[in-house]
Chains A and B, each alone.
Chain A
Amino acid sequence: MRLQQIASALLALGVMATATQAWAYRVYVSNEKGNDITVIDSETLEVIDTFKAGQRPRGIGISKDGKELYVCASDDDIVNVFDPITYKRLHTLPSGPDPELFTLHPSGNPLYIANEDDNIVTVVDVKKRSVLAEVPVGVEPEGMGVSPDGKIVVNTSETTNMAHFINTETFEIETNVLVDQRPRFAQFTDDGKLLYVSSEIGGTVSVIDPAAGEIIKKIEFEVRGIVPEAMQPVGVRVTKDGKKVFVALGPANRVAVVNGETFEVEKYLLVGQRVWQLAFTPDEKLLFTTNGNSNDVSVIDVESLKVIKTIAVGEQPWGVVVAPE
Chain B
Amino acid sequence: MRVWLLVCFSILWIGSTPARVNASDKQVISVGILKVERETPLPISRLDLPPENLGFQGARLATEENQTTGRFTGQDYQLNEATASPEEALDALDTLIEGGSNIIVAMATGDDLIALSKHVSDRNVLLLNAQAEDDSLRTDICLPNVLHVAPSRALKADGLTQFLAVKKWRKAFLISGSHDGDKLWADALHRSANKFGLKIVEERTFEDTGGARRSDTGHVQVQKQMPIFTQRAPDYDVLLAADESDVFAAYLPYHTTDPRPVAGSAGLRPIGWHPANEAWGATQFQRRFEKLASRRVRSLDYQAWLAVRAIGEAATRVKSSEAAPLKEYILGPDFELGVFKGTKVTFRPWNHQLRQPVLLANDRVIVSVSPQDGFPHRVSLMDTLGFDQQESTCAFNK
Q: Which residues of A contact B (CB under 8 A)?
A: 98, 116-117, 119, 135-136, 138-140, 158-162, 164, 172-176, 178, 180-182, 200-203, 227, 229
**Using a CB-CB cutoff of 8 Å, which residues 288-324 of chain B contact chain A?**
288, 313, 316-317
Chain A's nearest CB lies how many Å from the CB of B316? 7
Q: Which of B6-58 contact A (CB under 8 A)?
A: 15-16, 18-20
Instruction: Tell which of B108-116, B163-171, B336-344 binds the partner.
Output: B336-344
Q: Is the CB of A138 within 8 A of B69?
A: yes
Interface residue B287 (Cβ < 8 Å from any Cβ of A)? yes
Q: Is B68 an interface residue (CB 8 A)?
A: yes
State whether B381 touches A229 (Cβ < 8 A): yes
Expressed in whole angstroms, the minimum distance between the Cβ of B61 and any Cβ of chain A is 10
Residue of B nearest to A180 (CB): B336
- In the complex with contacts A178-B316, A181-B336, A202-B344, A138-B284 CB distance below 8 A: no
Contacts of A138 in B (CB 8 A): 68-69, 72
CB distance from A188 to the nearest CB of B (A): 20
**Is A159 within 8 A of B338, CB to CB?**
yes
- Known contacts A178-B316, A181-B344, A201-B338; A117/B287 CB under 8 A: yes
A180-B336, A229-B381 known; A201 vs B19 contact (CB < 8 Å)? no
A164 and B68 CA atoms in complex are apart in Å by 13
A139 touches B68 (CB 8 A): yes
How many interface residues does chain B have, given as a range? 20 to 34
B221 in the interface, Cβ–Cβ < 8 Å? no
In the complex, the chain B residue whose C-beta lies closest to that of A162 is: B72
Known: A160-B68, A176-B72, A201-B343. A117 touches B19 (CB 8 A): no
Q: Other than the known A98-B284, A181-B336, what 12 A-B pairs have Cβ atoms closer than 8 Å?
A: A117-B284, A139-B69, A158-B338, A160-B65, A161-B338, A162-B69, A173-B18, A173-B19, A175-B20, A176-B19, A201-B336, A229-B381
Residues on B with beta carbons closer than 8 Å to the beta carbon of A140:
281, 284
Q: List 23 A-B contacts (CB under 8 A).
A: A98-B287, A117-B287, A119-B68, A136-B15, A136-B16, A140-B284, A158-B338, A159-B65, A159-B338, A160-B72, A161-B316, A162-B69, A164-B72, A172-B16, A173-B18, A173-B72, A174-B19, A175-B20, A178-B316, A201-B338, A201-B343, A202-B338, A202-B344
B69, A116: Cβ atoms under 8 Å? Answer: no
